[in-house]
Chain A
Amino acid sequence: MKGVVSTALLTFVTYIIFTGSITPYDLVTGAVVAIVIGLLVGKFLVENDAKALNPLRWFWSVVYFVWYFLVAEVKAHLDVIGRIITGNFEPGIVKVPLKVKSEYARTLVANSITNTPGTVVVDVDENYLYVNWINVTTENPEEAKKEICEGFEKFAERIFE
């Protein structure tokens, strides 16, 4: 029965947002759909119910979302816009060591890096991310990590590990 409750809750909330109404009919169909989906795929999506329903982790994910869009994205966008206009860049693929181990945390770090302008993840293996970086300032993996994904990994640890 692991993962059923958290998956069903998320499905139910999404369903209600999509229908945009809270009539009894929609609540009942939403609950039925949510429970069926929870039973079908919950065990593949969630490894630990206590972790998935922990409000502190959800709180950190909201903090992360706001910080990411107001600080990380804006800074990187201004940088890349400058490079588009001046044509001043030195592309290359660097190795970035990755400390977090769980699948969700690694996905969050990789997606955050790719969504930030100026860096695209090309591949990932056990310990490293391979990142295409639009302006390589250092070829040292540790220093590259500091510039690319220090903040992302800290939050990924708090949210998923």
Chain B
Amino acid sequence: MSWASYLVCTFLAISLIFNTLGSIALHRFPDVYTRLHGATKCTTFGTIFAVLAVFTHALYRLHATGDPKYLQMGLHSLVALVALLLTNPTGAHAIAKAAHLSGYKPAKAVIDAYEEKLGGGRE
């Protein structure tokens, strides 16, 4: 095995660890908001490292073979990463707001400033 394969395997392992922790978070946290933290955030890092693995592999193959299709593979995975970074928080915003408006209060919350604001608006 070359050094590049070791690097790719390391990135994939880190990615797997983060994704596993994200799934564990889904089970451990009590309500929709805290689960959003686990589900969307740990998988962000998981995806970043998966993309890094693909990118490293593509660069290495490009260097070894000189075939431009590997350059394309690397660039495409970077575009996928940018798309993920834009859509992931947008979806999380939508879920969080929809959950609050449809009446799911944060469990065990020490403070809920948003409820105070909504309460003020209703009166």
Contact = CB atoms under 8 A, between A and B. Distances in A.
A17 B97 contact: no
A122 B105 CA distance: 12
Dominant secondary structure at the B interface: helix
Interface residues of B, number: 46
A77 B42 contact: yes
B37 A69 contact: no
B9 interface: no
Given A21-B68, A114-B92, A80 B106 contact: no
A17 B25 contact: no
Interface of A: 14, 17-18, 20-21, 69, 73, 76-77, 80-81, 84, 87, 89-95, 110-123, 125, 128, 130, 132, 134, 136, 139
B64 interface: no
Given A80-B41, A92-B106, A110-B93, 4 more contacts: A84-B25, A91-B34, A94-B111, A111-B90
